[in-house]
Amino acid sequence: MATPVIMPRQGQSVESCIIEWKVSEGDSVNVGDILFGYETDKASFEEESQVAGTVLKLLVEDGDDVDVLSNVLVIGKAGEDISEFASADAPSEAAPAQEAPSEAPEVAISKEQSVAPIESSVSADIDKISPRAKNTAERQNLDLTKAQPTGPNGRIIERDVMVLADKGYKVTAAAAGQYAGGAVGSGLGGAVTTTDLSAAPALPAVVDAAFTDVKLSGVRKAIAKAMHKSLSEMAQLTHHSSFDATGILDYRAKVKSSMEALNLPNITLNDIVLYAVVKTLRKHPEANAHFLGDSMRLFHGVNIGMAVDTERGLLVPTLFGADMMSLSEISTNAKALAASAQSGKISPDLLSGGTFTVSNLGALGVEQFTPVINPPQTCILGVCNITYRQKKTADGFETYPAMGLSLTYDHRAIDGAPAQRFLKDLCNALENFDVLLAM
Amino acid sequence: MTKCLVVDPAKLRKPGSISFSDIPMNTYQKKVADEKGNYTKDEFLRMYRDMLIIREFEEMLNLIKTTGEYEGVAYNQPGPAHLGIGQEAAYVGQAWGLGINDYTFGSHRSHGEILAKGLSAIAQLDDAELMDIMKNFFGGETFAVIEKTTKATSVKDMAKEFLIYGTLAEIWAKQTGFNKGLGGSMHAFFIPFGIFPNNAIVGGSADIATGAALYKRVNNKDGLVVCNIGDGSLGCGPVYEAMNFSAMDQLKGLWDEQHSGGLPIIYNIFNNSYGMGGQTCGETMAYSEVARLGAGITPSQMHAERVDGYNPLAVIEAYKRKREIIENREGPVLLDVITYRISGHSPSDASAYRTKEEVDMWKDVDSIVEFKKQLKAAKVATATELTNIENMVKADILNAVNLSKDDTLSPRMDLDKTPNIIADMMFSNDKVKSMDTTREPDMLEAKKDNARVKQLAKKVRSAVDENGKPVSKNKVLQLRDALFESIIDKYYEDPTLTAYGEDVREWGGPFAVYRGVAEAMPYHRLFNAPISEGAIVGTAVGYAMAGGRVIAELMYTDFLGRAGDQVFNQLSKWQSMSAGILKMPCVLRMSVGSKYGAQHSQDWSALCTHIPGLKVVFPASPYDAKGLMNTALNGTDPVIFLESQRIYDVGEQFHEGGVPTEYYEVEMGDPDVKRVGTDVTILSIGATLYRALEAADLFAEQGISAEIIDARSLVPFNYEKVIESVKKTGKIIVTGDACERGSHMNDFARNISELAFDYLDAPPVVVGAMNWITPAHELEDHFFPQPFWLVDAYHERIAPIAGYTAKKNFTEINQLESTKKGI
CATH code: domain B447-647 is 3.40.50.970
| Contact call for B759 and A159, based on CB within 8 A | no
Q: How far is A160 from chain B (nearest CA, A)?
A: 10
A415 carries an active-site annotation = yes
pLDDT at B218: 98
Which residues in chain B (407-436) have CB-CB distances under 8 A to chain A? none
- The stretch A156-182 carries a mean pLDDT of 62
Q: Quick check: A200 pLDDT over 60?
A: no
Q: Quote the mean pLDDT of chain A.
A: 79
Helix axes B141-149, B383-405, angle to 10 degrees: 120
Distance CA A244, CA A392 (A): 13
B600 carries an active-site annotation = yes
3-state SS class at B570: helix
Q: Quick check: A194 pLDDT over 70?
A: no
Least confident of A93-97, A228-232, B178-182: A93-97
Task: Check: CB of residue B306 under 8 Å from CB of residue B25.
Answer: yes
Task: Check: CB of residue B631 under 8 Å from CB of residue B668.
Answer: yes
pLDDT at B692: 98
- Cis amide bond preceding B522, omega within 30: no
Chain A CB within 8 Å of residue B804 CB? no
Chain A CB within 8 Å of residue B760 CB? yes
Domain with CATH 3.40.50.920 in chain B: 680-820
More confident residue, B392 or A124: B392
Residue ranges of chain A whose CB lies within 8 Å of a chain B CB:
130-133, 135, 150-153, 155, 157-159
Task: Check: CB of residue B199 under 8 Å from CB of residue B106.
Answer: yes
User: Tell me, what's the ipTM?
Assistant: 0.75
Q: Quick check: A57 pLDDT over 60?
A: yes
Distance CA A435, CA A428 (A): 10
B354-373 in b/e form (b: 16+ CB < 10 A) is: eeeeebeebeeebbbebbbe
| Contact call for B800 and A159, based on CB within 8 A | no
Give bridge partners of residue B786 from the DSSP assignment. Answer: none
Q: Which of B761, B804, B810, B815 to mutate to test the interface with A (most CBs of A within 10 A)?
A: B761
- A-chain residues near B762 (CB < 8 A): 130, 151-152, 155, 157
More confident residue, B461 or A209: B461
State residue B678 phi and psi, 5-degree precision.
Answer: -125, -20
pLDDT, tens digit (0-9, with 9 covering 90-100), for A15-32: 788 888 999 998 999 988
| Contact call for B800 and A135, based on CB within 8 A | no
More confident residue, A42 or B732: B732
Domains of chain A by range and CATH?
Answer: 1-105 (2.40.50.100), 117-206 (4.10.320.10), 218-438 (3.30.559.10)
* Percent helix, percent strand, percent coil in chain B, to nearest 5: 45, 15, 40
pLDDT, tens digit (0-9, with 9 covering 90-100), for B616-644: 999 999 999 999 999 999 999 999 999 99
| Contact call for B762 and A157, based on CB within 8 A | yes
CATH code: domain B32-124+178-384 is 3.40.50.970
Select from B216, B217, B224, B213 the least CA-distant residue to B326: B224
| Candidates A250, A415, A425, A434; catalytic one | A415
DSSP for B251-314, written as a single string:
HHHTS-GGG-SB-SEEEEEEE-SEETTEETBTTTBS-SSGGGGHHHH-TTGGG-EEEETT-HHH
| Candidates A284, A411, A425, A434; catalytic one | A411
Select from A350, A357, A353, A267 the least CA-distant residue to A304: A357
B297-335 in b/e form (b: 16+ CB < 10 A) is: bbebbbbbbbbbbbbbbbbbbbbeebbebbeebbbbbbb
Q: Quick check: A279 pLDDT over 50?
A: yes
- B-chain residues near A152 (CB < 8 A): 762, 796-800, 812
pLDDT at A204: 54
Chain A CB within 8 Å of residue B792 CB? no
Q: Kindly give the pairing relationship between strand A71-76 and strand A53-58.
A: antiparallel
Closest A-chain CA to B813: A153
| Contact call for A133 and B812, based on CB within 8 A | no
pLDDT at B466: 85
Integer-rounded Cα radius of gyration of chain A: 31
- Using CB atoms within 10 A of its CB, is residue A434 exposed (0-12), middle (13-18) or buried (19+)? exposed
Distance CA B507, CA B504 (A): 6
**For residue B243, what are the contacts with CB-CB under 8 A and spacing of at least 6?**
B206, B210, B267, B293, B297, B302, B332, B334
- CATH match of B680-820 with 3.40.50.920: yes
Q: Quick check: A282 pLDDT over 60?
A: yes
Q: How far is A198 from chain B (nearest CA, A)?
A: 12
Specify the length of chain A in residues: 439
Task: Check: CB of residue B109 under 8 Å from CB of residue B90.
Answer: no
- The stretch A285-301 carries a mean pLDDT of 90
- B-chain residues near A132 (CB < 8 A): 730, 758-761
| Contact call for A130 and B730, based on CB within 8 A | yes
pLDDT at B352: 83
pLDDT at B151: 94
One-letter amino acid of B410: S
Domain with CATH 3.40.50.970 in chain B: 32-124+178-384, 447-647
More confident residue, A218 or A433: A433
Residues lower than pLDDT 70 in chain B: 1
pLDDT at B1: 56
| Contact call for B762 and A130, based on CB within 8 A | yes
Specify the length of chain B in residues: 823
Q: How far is B744 from chain A (nearest CA, A)?
A: 24
**For residue A189, what are the contacts with CB-CB under 8 A and spacing of at least 6?**
A181
First to last CA, chain A: 80
pLDDT at A189: 35
- B-chain residues near A153 (CB < 8 A): 812
